């Protein structure tokens, strides 16, 4: 499993606009987002969480109930992911 990077989320007030912003720090790298973009990221994260839960359930079903080998189940999961989201990879790059 890849090393987990430290993650922190906080708020700041923009010096330029005097509007609240969200600051996301991952592994020491900071990114700042206006509220609209932060809400978009929240929605993308929520959708990704639900997809990850779905992936887990489908993989377990294929390997435990259908008795497919892990490699075949992984390939079928990629096919399912493509049907679900239109791609086998990232759906919301930003």
- In tens, the pLDDT along 43-82 reads 999 988 998 999 999 999 999 999 999 999 999 999 988 8
> What is the per-residue pLDDT for 94?
55
| CA–CA dist 67, 49 (Å, integer) | 26
pTM: 0.76
| CA–CA dist 37, 44 (Å, integer) | 11
Q: Residue 25: pLDDT above 60?
A: yes
| CA–CA dist 4, 1 (Å, integer) | 9
């Amino acid at each position: 499993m890849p090393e987990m990077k430290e993650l922190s989320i906080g708020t700041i007030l923009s010096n330029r606009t005097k509007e609240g912003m969200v600051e996301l720090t991952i592994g020491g790298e900071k990114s700042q987002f206006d509220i609209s973009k932060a809400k978009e990221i929240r929605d993308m994260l929520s959708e990704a969480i639900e997809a990850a839960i779905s992936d887990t359930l489908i993989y377990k079903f294929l390997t435990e109930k259908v008795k497919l080998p892990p490699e075949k189940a992984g390939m079928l999961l990629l096919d399912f992911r493509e049907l679900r989201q239109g791609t086998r990879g990232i759906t919301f790059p930003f």
